[in-house]
Amino acid sequence: MVSHPGLSLGEKRAILASWASDASAIASCPSLRAPQGLKAPVTVDEILEALCALDEGPRNPPGGKPMRLRPVERAAA
């Protein structure tokens, strides 16, 4: 679908976004999606990789995943 010549970038992005939504999730296995029209389920990771391919961006961005260096403590009221 990503390489389909008849679809614009916006159309491809919209299709992939709809596939990634919870509306296409398989109830017994939430990490899988079963979009209408596909023969077999696909993983959310595969959908996100396809979106990344449209942007031609890095799969693992520099700096990695952000994380807190120290715990955030709330002041007692």
* Domain that residue 44 falls in: 9-55
In a domain, 51, yes or no: yes
In a domain, 63, yes or no: no
Give the integer Cα–Cα distance in Å for 17 and 21. Answer: 6
In a domain, 48, yes or no: yes
Number of domains in the chain: 1
- Two structure tokens written together for 54: 């449209």
In a domain, 74, yes or no: no
- Two structure tokens written together for 56: 């031609």
In a domain, 69, yes or no: no
* End-to-end Cα, the chain, rounded Å: 54
- Two structure tokens written together for 62: 């520099």
In a domain, 1, yes or no: no
Give the integer Cα–Cα distance in Å for 16 and 1. Answer: 9
Position 26 scores a pLDDT of 79
Q: What is the pTM of this model?
A: 0.59
* Contact (CB, 8 A) for 26 and 35: no
The predicted-structure confidence for 11-69, as pLDDT tens digits, reads as follows 988 888 888 887 777 778 877 888 777 788 888 888 888 888 887 765 665 666 556 56
Position 6 scores a pLDDT of 92
Residue 70 — very low, low, confident or very high, per pLDDT cuts 50/70/90?
low
